[in-house]
A and B are shown apart, each in its own frame.
Chain A
Amino acid sequence: GDSVTQMEGPVTLSEEAFLTINCTYTATGYPSLFWYVQYPGEGLQLLLKATKADDKGSNKGFEATYRKETTSFHLEKGSVQVSDSAVYFCALKALGGGADGLTFGKGTHLIIQP
């Protein structure tokens, strides 16, 4: 079945550091890919998405590129802020058929220190 693997956390960085959170996936066909962010005690918020190979999703300074050849969708940000501290989830959505719920990775807890 479909699966998503993302780097284990917590990831601790200093403010203004460069961020990479790795995500790889296994799926049949060509799924849509998403990054969601979850702040403490809240639901998940969509951060960015990409729907086909070589697409780049971007939002709030975060970017991720859909790499079909490496089945990856790594999240990057050039300069992180304390307010970016949260849990980040990589997810895929299979195309075709009625059942198209998101398959999530286990999440990466990001801690940004001032």
Chain B
Amino acid sequence: EAEVAQSPRYKITEKSQAVAFWCDPISGHATLYWYRQILGQGPELLVQFQDESVVDDSQLPKDRFSAERLKGVDSTLKIQPAELGDSAMYLCASSFTGGNSPLHFGNGTRLTVT
């Protein structure tokens, strides 16, 4: 079964440094999502792409976070500068376009900011 690929699996960085996460969605999935999951809580949407366009980034802290999906396939999420409160699991998901389509999640990147 096709999977959403994410890398790295784990990342440790010092505060004020820059960090980037990569996601490759399931082939054919036009919609891509980035979620942040703080330990013990449910995932919260950061940004949604339809092909290469941003559909929803209302919860993305744009002063330090950026996301791109230049060719409408893989995507990068960047944090600069990282803060202690950014420590979390960052999950990427993809789906076919349409309200009934389920999201398929990658295994995530566990970020620790020291």
Contact = CB atoms under 8 A, between A and B. Distances in A.
Interface of A: 4, 31-32, 34, 36, 41-46, 49, 51, 89, 91, 93-96, 98-107
B32 to A, nearest CB: 10
B38 to A, nearest CB: 10
Contacts, number: 71
Given A43-B107, A99-B48, A101-B33, A107 B41 contact: yes
A-B complex: 10 closest residue pairs judged by Cβ atoms: A104-B42, A95-B99, A99-B56, A43-B105, A101-B45, A98-B55, A44-B105, A43-B107, A51-B100, A46-B102
B41 A106 contact: yes
Contacts of B43: 44, 89, 102, 104
Interface in B58-114: 58, 91, 93, 99-100, 102-108, 110
Interface of B: 4, 6, 31, 33, 35, 40-45, 48, 50, 55-56, 58, 91, 93, 99-100, 102-108, 110
Contact of A44 (B6, B40, B44, B91): B91
Given A43-B108, A101-B48, A32 B42 contact: no
Nearest to A101: B45
B42 A105 contact: yes
A2 to B, nearest CB: 11
A100 B49 CA distance: 10
Contacts of B56: 98-99, 101
25 contacts: A32-B99, A32-B100, A34-B102, A41-B110, A42-B108, A43-B6, A43-B105, A43-B107, A44-B91, A44-B105, A49-B100, A93-B99, A93-B100, A95-B100, A96-B99, A98-B48, A98-B50, A100-B48, A101-B48, A101-B56, A102-B103, A104-B43, A106-B41, A107-B40, A107-B42
